[in-house]
Amino acid sequence: MEKEYSDCYYCGGVVKERLVPREFRWKGKLFVFENVPIGVCAQCGEKVIKPKVAKDIDHILEVNKKPTKTIQVPVYQYEQNIA
């Protein structure tokens, strides 16, 4: 049986597929996708997205598909010298 993901590029750990939320920036806007199939290293947590999944997400954004839901996200400016 062929492995779905190769071992982790960074640490050599086992990579297994998980469904996770993932944020993407597209043309200056933030989009959140839920249940994205991503390979996650069991040892270091590094994430890998397959090219087909990335292309599917690009296509959804290109055709301006209606989102499942919309959320508001607070945005903060980092200030270095806060006491």
Q: What is the pLDDT of residue 73?
A: 87
The DSSP line for 43-58 is TT--EE--HHHHHHHH
Q: What is the pLDDT of residue 1?
A: 41
Q: What is the pLDDT of residue 82?
A: 72
| Per-residue confidence in pLDDT tens, the chain, 83 aa | 446 899 999 999 999 999 999 999 988 999 999 999 999 999 999 999 999 999 999 999 999 999 999 999 898 998 887 76
Q: Which residues of 10-22 are buried (b: 16+ CB within 10 A; e: fewer)?
A: eeebebeeeeeeb
3-state class (DSSP) for residue 6: coil
Fold of 1-83: Ubiquitin-like (UB roll) (3.10.20)
